[in-house]
Structure 1
Amino acid sequence: MNRKLINWGLGIGTPLLLVAAWWAVSQNSTNTFFPPLATILERFQALWLFDHFGSDVLLSLRNLALGYALATVIGVGLGFVTALVPVVRWALDPLIHFFRGIPPVALVPIFISLIGFGIEMRLVSIILAALFPTLIATVDGIRSVDPSLKDVSAVYRLTRTEKLAQVYLPAAGPQIAAGMQVSLQVAFIVMIASEMLGASQGIGAMTLLAQQSFMTSDMWAGILLLGVIGFGANMLFELAKNKVLAWYVGSRRLAKS
């Protein structure tokens, strides 16, 4: 049997088996804190597909998408400058490694104190938390470009723009993509944390409110939604990465075969 089909089968079958096991174990549950999966799915449909979809789900997704997009643009742009301009690298290197050591969630209380509880606080928290993985990956990717590629670009007298677009970006692309994927995960975590700590709207805020109000089924429904969004976002990123870096993915597969 084709190995790819086996992998797809495992990828789809394992979650289905876990859901089936969850359904069977919780079916007759009378535990307040562990309701039946059927009840959780009913509340999931009522809350997240109807009542709170426009007011909370779309708000969280918008903040995540906007914050992550800005963090990516700033991280890649600043990474190129830091890697290619020695003065900038010497000036920013200590700051980059200082801030990368701070847990991203720890930044949220600081921004609440400085900015308040509005959407601006959530966006700034997401941007700064998601910035550093992409920035560091870009710097490392650019600095590890094969020197022979630089020599070839000099021989062909490529302009600076042509070097960036045709030499540095493709060569560093896989490493930049890896940093962007980590940034996406960090952005998702900080989105939830910022809503739980300093917001009255959003998936994280509604899930925390359900927990504090002892609405256990609603809490589980919120956790389930967060898992679905996190999984879906990662899958979409993988599909986009495989499309954009098809040459790299193909070469890796050939090397493994």
Structure 2
Amino acid sequence: MTRVIRQVLFVVALPAALLSAWWLLTVNSTSFYNPPLATILGKFDDTWFSQPFGESRFVHDVLPSVGRLLAGYVLALVAGITLGVAIGLSRALRAYCEPVLEFFRAIPPPVMVPILMLFFGIGTSMRIVVIATGCLWPILLNTIEGVRGIDPVLRDTARVYRLGRVSTVRHLVLRAASPQIVTGARQALSVGIILMVISEMFTARDGLGFTVVSFQRGFAIPEMWSGVIILGLIGLLLSLVFTAVSKTVLAWYMGYRAAQRGGA
């Protein structure tokens, strides 16, 4: 129980310190563009939750944004891990794909938004594809490197025991590459949140990014800041969920590392 309390305090300590500093630095602010935090928090409930739940901005703007983010992220996970394993296991395929991978890796994901709009229009599908396209590369490239880095002795052992291709991929390749895959997935989550907001700034009529920009254009500055806070809370919540899932996925790896340190 004490350990859980320490972990909770560790997670909330920095956000609490930053909010306290923000409160103190703006408590007497008269700036139109930088209102006191108390004013922003006072607008928070009215902006996002004042209407009946089914008609609130939280339901019409925040939840659809999170849904599109998760849809694009899951698509990127499936495609990135599948392609990464295939490319990582085949030296010939890796040599063939490497120039293309290096080309697309050098392109900033936001640049792809206008291009994808030409092919997918301006609807929900375009925003999901934008998120999936941006999230794909960290997952794909880290998966390839993770598969390439598997100990050759483990591969030889799998051949000696005559493991089938599916069993080898499931029990050896994915497990051995999982630390790298999780690293790529963590990077992709941050990219996905950014692209969620950017994609909603282009001809959208709903979503968190659209709403924040609408407040900014209407000079509703406290409401705009409240949207930024919502975005930060979404990022924090997703990070906590990701950390919990990654600890479960990498439980074997953590135990292995702990055993190595104990043996040393």
TM-score (norm 1): 0.92
SS in 2 for 1:198: coil
Task: Flag the 1:89–1:198 CA change in 2: closer, same or farther, 3 A.
Answer: farther
Task: Within 5 Å, give how 1:1-257 maps onto structure 2.
Answer: 9-50=9-50, 51-253=56-258
> What is the identity, as a one-letter code, of the residue corresponding to 2:167?
E
Aligned residue pairs, count? 256
How far apart are the structure 2 equivalents of 1:135 and 1:252? Answer: 25
How far apart are the structure 2 equivalents of 1:70 and 1:106? Answer: 20
Identity %: 39
Q: Deviations over 1:30-62 (max 9, x none)?
A: 211111212211222222335201111111000
* Contact 1:207–1:222 (CA under 8 A) maintained in structure 2: yes
How far residue 9 of structure 1 moved from its aligned partner, in angstroms, is 3.7
How far residue 15 of structure 1 moved from its aligned partner, in angstroms, is 1.8
* Contact 1:112–1:198 (CA under 8 A) maintained in structure 2: no
> What is the identity, as a one-letter code, of the residue corresponding to 2:180?
Q
Task: Flag the 1:113–1:248 CA change in 2: closer, same or farther, 3 A.
Answer: same
Moved more, 38-47 or 115-124: 38-47
* Contact 1:26–1:35 (CA under 8 A) maintained in structure 2: yes
RMSD: 2.0
Segments of 5+ residues of structure 1 without an aligned counterpart are none
SS in 2 for 1:199: coil
How far apart are the structure 1 equivalents of 2:23 and 2:82? Answer: 48
How far residue 181 of structure 1 moved from its aligned partner, in angstroms, is 0.7
Task: Flag the 1:196–1:181 CA change in 2: closer, same or farther, 3 A.
Answer: same
Moved more, 188-197 or 15-24: 15-24
How far residue 6 of structure 1 moved from its aligned partner, in angstroms, is 6.3
> What is the identity, as a one-letter code, of the residue corresponding to 1:239?
A
How far residue 7 of structure 1 moved from its aligned partner, in angstroms, is 6.7
SS in 2 for 1:31: coil
